[in-house]
Chains A and B, each alone.
Chain A
Amino acid sequence: MSNSFIECRSLSKQYKSKRQTINAVTDINLQVQRNEMIILKGRSGAGKSTLLNLICGLISPTSGTIRIGDKMINELDDKSLSNLLLTQIGIIFQSFNLLPTYNIYENIEVALAPKGLGHKDIQKLVLPYLEQFQLTDKLHLLPEELSVGQQQKVAIIRTLVKQPSIILADEPTGSVDDETAREILEYLRYLREEKKVTIILATHGIIPDTFADRVFTIENGRINN
């Protein structure tokens, strides 16, 4: 076992349909150190989102292994994986994945629900973030009542309230204006530098390479250093 924090070995993911087999990710080997920030760069459909989903266990690999710390992700049972997602891994989805019938506060609160925290404890965790991202007055609105940039911020807050040690961000600036994008990237840099969070960013090229420690390019499901 290497001393990297996150390690993917010979990782492949195939999607099979009746007509064809799609190799979304093929034989990927990747090592990420603790407190490192890396960028996965590639066109749409290159396999970036699939790789992020594999790393956090949201989908199972066809072959290969994923390790985070001392835990083999693809061997974890549901309880252990849920616990990992609840306490250590935060995912920022490309499409935000906000719950359309929950208001903003509830969308964030729902990420803490399985922890069994009290109402006041949840408020203590959520409200500072809402203030920081200037969403305090939007608490009771539904996601569809917010701008795209504001929805992205809600998705980020939902990830941050869990205080994860790893953040997997799939196109976090893909749908927002330049100002909001800069704001989000600055905050991710702050998290990495001040909170020692390990961050993997997937982007199709908007984020400058200098922003990360290392940049990997994904093409047709294969990784090129």
Chain B
Amino acid sequence: MRYIFKELRRHLWRTIFSIIGYAIASIFILIILCITGSNKNDSFGILQTTGTHFIAYIPTNASCCSSCSSGEANGSVFAEGVNTIMLDRDLLQTIKYTEGIKDAAPCLLYKMFNESFQSDISISGIDTTSIATRNNVCARTNLIAGRFISSDPDEIVAEQSFAVAHKLKLGDTLNVFGGKMVLTGIINSGIKPVKADFYAPIEIVRSILKDRLQCNSSDFDMNIILVEVSDARMQDAVIRHIKNMMYKFSVSTYNCYEPAYKVMSIIDKSSLGLTILIFIFLVIFSAKTQLSALIERFREIGILKSLGWSNFDLGTHILIVSFIQSIIGVTMGLLLGIGAIQIITNMKIPLFQYIEFRFQYTSIPLLYCLSLVGAFIASIFPIIRIYRSKAGDIIKNYL
């Protein structure tokens, strides 16, 4: 090690030049990683949750509860225009804890003929606290008048299009679903997989079916499972997994996740491509520096070989010198790069106002790894050259 440090000190300018090279490359990589990382984080923040919801249900050709379809109520649980069977809580729990699923919630969607409106009306029983509900049915932010769904069994919220069609106003008392209910809110849920004319907490809808309408079913847990996936890139896999879990499942999604997934893949690939390009640049630069340094002192190496230094001794020597230069260079580059990022961020330089520099701490080990790999690759060629040359030939040819 003594000779390695002596070597670094002895050829001080060459050492400084190499270190500066590594430092500049590191600053460059750091800034690029900061910009691409920030962009990636921001765009992924949006894209990751784009279209990451879907609903699952099991269609059937008959109503689940005989008294609903054949009795006075003449209703049925349904989804996307078809009758469905009831699903139990155990199945919901299993889906909820499946890998890649962020949240799963129950939904009870029921329709029946109503004398007052002279048409079928539907009600969706939901769990308002769930993110899966917000993305698949409706959210508090969809409220346009009155107040959002409450736990009061005599209150109900209507979809805006239904309310407008039937000239409903807040405070109207409606004769619906086997009882009288007050219209307390109007929402516009937008385009969602589960649409209904009225919304209420799932417990209230369960109670309506069981107690008011006296439907005959083993239970009234839910007929639709609302699912929110953690990442658009996992959605395909999650849907496949759920279908494998129960082959009768019908899964409905808007497929918005597909373009999001594609855009994320493009960002991922271009970010990786840019990193690889910079890495190649770093390797070429350091290989050139190491090779130039070797040519400069090749005669010395021949003399050292003639004194009994083995190829291994010399190779190790070159490798460690290269590693030390790269580590010092990266450390300097990191400090200067962080300083530069701070200055650019704090000074609000107009040139960079549209670029957000967010320091990526994960880039520190990455930079060290890249530069060590670069230093290793850069040393390989000089080392091969040493192994292939005889001391006498070196001394003779590099006089």
Contact = CB atoms under 8 A, between A and B. Distances in A.
Contacts of B94: none
A33 interface: no
Nearest to A159: B307
Contacts of B307: 85-86, 110-111, 114, 158, 162
B190 interface: no
Interface string A48-66: 0000010010111000000
Interface string A92-110: 0101010101100010001
Contacts of B393: 59
A60 B312 CA distance: 19
A91 interface: yes
Interface residues of B, number: 25
B391 interface: yes
Chain B facing A: main interface SS: helix
Given A87-B308, A91-B306, A110-B3, A58 B313 contact: no
B305 A82 contact: yes
Given A101-B10, A114-B313, A58 B3 contact: no
**6 nearest A-B pairs in the assembled complex, by CB-CB distance:** A86-B308, A58-B392, A59-B392, A82-B310, A85-B308, A53-B392
Interface in B302-323: 303-313
Interface string B279-320: 000000000000000000000100111111111110000000
A79 interface: yes
Contacts of A119: 2
Interface in B331-384: none
B212 interface: no
Interface of B: 2-3, 6, 10-11, 300, 303-313, 387, 390-393, 395-396, 399
A78 interface: yes
A101 B13 CA distance: 13
Contacts of A83: 308, 310
Size class of the A contact interface (CB-based, 8 Å) = 20 to 34
B6 A162 contact: no
B11 A79 contact: no
Contact of B308 (A53, A59, A111): A111
Nearest to A52: B392
Given A101-B10, A101-B11, A106-B6, A113 B306 contact: no
Contact of A78 (B306, B310, B396): B310
A84 B310 CA distance: 10
Contacts of B395: 58, 93, 97
A97 B303 contact: yes
Contacts of B399: 95
A113 B300 contact: no
6 contacts: A58-B391, A59-B391, A59-B392, A84-B308, A86-B307, A97-B395
